[in-house]
Amino acid sequence: MQTNIKPKVYSACRLKEDMVKVLNSVCEFKMCKGEFATRDELIANVPGVKVIHCLGKNKINKEVLDAAGPSLKAVCTGSSGYDHIDLVTCKERHIRVGHLCKVIAACMAEFTIGLMIATGRRFKEAMTDVERGGWANWGANYMNGYQLMGSTIGIVGLGCIGQEIALRLKSFGSHIKYTGPQRKPEGDALKIEYVTLHDLLQTSDFVVVTCALNEDTKKMFNRKTFDLMKPTSIFINVARGDVVDQEALYEALTSQKIFAAGLDVATPEPLSGDHPLVSLENCVLLPHIGSSTVVTRHEMTKTSVQNVLAALDDKPLPSELQL
């Protein structure tokens, strides 16, 4: 009779050696050969596993969940976002989902405010002008931009990241509003105003997008929504690229419908260097680095592995998405 058979775990992304050792000690652990598993590699390695560990580049759709079979009890992603996971099928099959929103929230808030300042105060345009010798044109109105103090900030999506952003913005003397499917007690605790999306777009100096990507939010920022914004408004997206119609954003930026945009996400990723948005001086475009600090990346890996360990023991995940 076979006894003490270890449950199986497959990681579709590379983990550091110390985390691999932890997992090898408690389960039959297998990891992809490269940085990320190919589609064929993923399908071939998930049958019979109890837990799949992944990142955003790994699409955990119904095909993958079917391949894993009834043994699969949890999908643990090393990211805050979860749009790469088929949540409907996971819920139907009682497959738990671990993600890292709370782990990265403070880091993302710090980054987002930095992006707001860089965009509003025209850092990209000013740096380019220095390189071109334009500093010689300095005067009272040279590179004037927009500050956070006294500005109205509209946050789209008051999840854990949006809450941390709002908390920190209060120290800047900003007036903060938020919108989402419903008013949230966390917003009341922060003493910030809940408004409709229409009101937020018409009245905000900075529109900050932190919402999850789903069917309701896909392309929610389009020609119609950009037309509602003030010509002095600044658009910030740290959520997902598909929340935005990028052609409409380009038109809004080049026709002065809005003042500027700061983006840490795009569609596709990576965005090619010859994409029209890249060349705009009023578009600060960064390569999805919002959580890229030494401390936070270590915590992300550690927590995602802790989620895996909890799933193996059939315990509540330390950072679990409520389906």
Q: What is the rounded distance in angstroms from the CA atom of residue 85 to the CA atom of residue 88?
A: 9
Distance CA(50)–CA(312), nearest Å, equals 7
Which one of 175, 275, 288, 298 is the catalytic residue? 288
Q: pTM for this one?
A: 0.91
Active site residue 288: yes
- Burial degree of 177 (CB within 10 A; 0-12, 13-18, 19+): buried
Q: What is the pLDDT along the chain (323 residues), one digit of tens a residue?
A: 355 789 999 999 999 999 999 999 999 999 999 999 999 999 999 999 999 999 989 999 999 999 999 999 999 999 988 999 999 999 999 999 999 988 999 999 999 999 999 999 999 999 999 999 999 999 999 999 999 999 999 999 999 999 999 999 999 999 999 999 999 999 999 999 999 999 999 999 999 999 999 999 999 999 999 999 999 999 999 999 999 999 999 999 999 999 999 999 999 999 999 999 999 999 999 999 999 999 999 999 999 999 999 999 999 999 999 98
Could you tell me the CA-to-CA distances from 133 to 11, 123, 137, 142 in Å, in that order?
Answer: 50, 15, 9, 14
d(CA 216, CA 182): 14
Output the 3-class SS for 158-173. CCHHHHHHHHHHHHHC
What are the C-alpha distances in Å from 77 to residues 100, 140, 244, 312? 8, 50, 24, 15
Bridge partners of 10, per DSSP, are 30, 52
Residue 7, preceding peptide bond in cis (omega within 30° of 0):
no
